[in-house]
Amino acid sequence: MTVIRTLDKDKMDVAEGSYAVAHAVKVCRPNVISAYPITPQTHIVEDLSQFMADGEISNCEYINVESEFSALSALVGSAAAGARCYSATTSQGLELMHEVLFNVSGMRLPVVMTIANRAVSAPINIWNDHQDSISQRDTGWIQMYAEDLQEISDMTAQAYKVAEDKDVMMPAMTCMDGFILSHVYEPLVLLEQDLVDEYLPAYEPEFTLDPKNPLTFGAFADPTAYTEFRYLQQQAMDNALPKIEEAANEFYEIFGRYYGGLIDEYETEDADIILMAMGSLVGTIRDVVDKLRAKGVKAGLLKVRTFRPFPAEAIKNAIKDAKVVVALDKNISLGLNEGSLFTETKASLYNTKVDVPIVGRMIGHGGRDIPEKTIEDIVEEAKGIISSGINTESKYADLKEELL
């Protein structure tokens, strides 16, 4: 199954990505929004502030905090008190939240947060890559990456659906490429209030901070119990795998739009060369695949939509018959010289019967443009791997040697 949209032209608007997200948040009926401004997330929180000023979000409080650390900390209190919670951030702001991210997840609070993905300092850079959210992969947050504006908008409702599921109860990040998606205008359907009300039930947590039923939240666990708390978090992530698929399928049934659940495939069935990627880059690759197919090159695209929980099984099934796989990463693990999608895909194939050559190419860091030509060159190189094996396992695909 691949991207399906039965878009009703009468329902379509032209909107900025940030506005589409803010609108999506509004129709999900949050109780507490807490955020701190940071480029390129600002338009989302400005639009939400305007909705508040115009009285368009009922039963909701917006907390203007003094830092990202407090933005997410406030939501610990709000979510524990039973509120549906929202925040948005990026880059330095997300890194500042690092400690709180673990806390929200460990306390099983299903907060949803949009990340307008941006590079991290130094050198300071406000443009897009995925280093910020990838660096938070072990914090216990579900992470999903959107390809375009319609998807990031719709993903907001899906994220609440999965995060608040009683078998999951884990927080979720919905990731959109900074500027490339956050500041771009596209024709789209703004998330429909009536359909969201049908799709997303009210948040009714089992345990809350309630004077009528006093409970203790955030107790300390010594070595006799700590491991079991962590085990249960992993179990919740395992539970999230089918729930993410279900949420995408149910969304399709109600809204008529589908982008994949854990992954999505395009022209992979008979593909010799499969390119894997996350985020807006997927759209560029789609066009390149069309061009190559027209020339008779059997290329395909594997869109990884969910990075946490990592959909190892789905990925393995999608690439097992290819002759070569290239994972494209907008992040690097310094000291390993690999991007995470590559590292984790490669690792998940080890100890299996799948023996497909896979290489990693890092690309588009700090907002460096990714023209189709760069992808085409990568495919050209991949053809060589089929005939003569892997030369370089992982490297930058768009390095400017002249600047070194």
Partner 1 sequence: MKSLFTSGHRGCAGCCDAMVAKFTLMAAGEDCVVISPTGCLEVMSTPYPETSWEVPWIHSLFENTGAVASGVEAALKAMGKKGDTKVIALAGDGATLDIGMRSISGAFERGDDITYVCIDNEAYMNTGVQRSGATPFDASTTTSPAGKISYGNPRPKKNMPAIMAAHGSPYIATTSLGYPKDMIKKIKKATEIEGPTYIHAHAPCTTGWGFDTSKTVEVAKLAVQTGLWPLYEMENGEVTKVRKIGKQKKPVEDYLKMQKRFKHLFKMEGAEEQLKLIQALADKNIEDFGLE
Which residues in this chain contact partner 1 in the complex, by CB under 8 A? 31-32, 34, 59-61, 63-67, 69-71, 73-83, 99-100, 103, 107, 209-211, 213-222, 225
**CB 172 → partner 1: shortest distance, Å?**
18
Of 170 and 370, which CB lies nearer to partner 1 in the complex structure? 170
Q: How far is the CB of 189 from partner 1 (least distance, A)?
A: 28
Distance from C-alpha of 248 to C-alpha of 155, rounded to nearest angstrom: 9
| HSE-up (13 A, CA, CB side) for residue 257 | 21
- DSSP calls for 39-104: TTTHHHHHHHHHHHHTT-STT-EEEE-SSHHHHHHHHHHHHHTT--EEEEE-HHHHHHTHHHHHHH
Give the whole-angstrom CA distance, residue 273 versus residue 378. Answer: 10
- Tokens for 53? 């000023």
Q: Which is nearer to partner 1, 60 or 285 (CB)?
A: 60
Q: Which is nearer to partner 1, 83 or 159 (CB)?
A: 83
Write down the least CB distance from residue 106 to partner 1, Å.
10
Strand partners, 263: 304
| Least gap, CB of 209 to partner 1 (angstroms) | 4
We find the least distance from the C-beta atom of residue 34 to partner 1, in angstroms, to be: 7
| Residue among 210 and 372 whose Cβ is closer to partner 1 | 210
Rounded least distance, CB 70 to partner 1, Å: 4
**Count of CB atoms situated within 10 Å of the CB of 161:** 25
In the complex with partner 1, which residue's Cβ is closer, 6 or 216? Answer: 216
Q: 9 φ, ψ to 5°?
A: -60, -30
- The distance of closest approach from Cβ of residue 68 to partner 1 in the complex, given in angstroms and rounded to an integer, is 11
CA distances in angstroms from 293 to 266, 282, 335, 373, listed in the order given: 11, 16, 37, 15
- Residue number, 77 or 256, with CB nearest to partner 1: 77
Q: Which is nearer to partner 1, 48 or 80 (CB)?
A: 80
Helix axis angle for 149-163 and 17-27, nearest 10°, is 30
How many residues are given for the chain?
Answer: 404
Shortest gap between Cβ of 54 and partner 1 (angstroms)? 17
Query: Which two tokens mark 229?
Result: 């708390």
CB-wise, 59 or 235, nearer to partner 1? 59
**CA atoms of 314 and 306, how far apart (whole Å):** 11
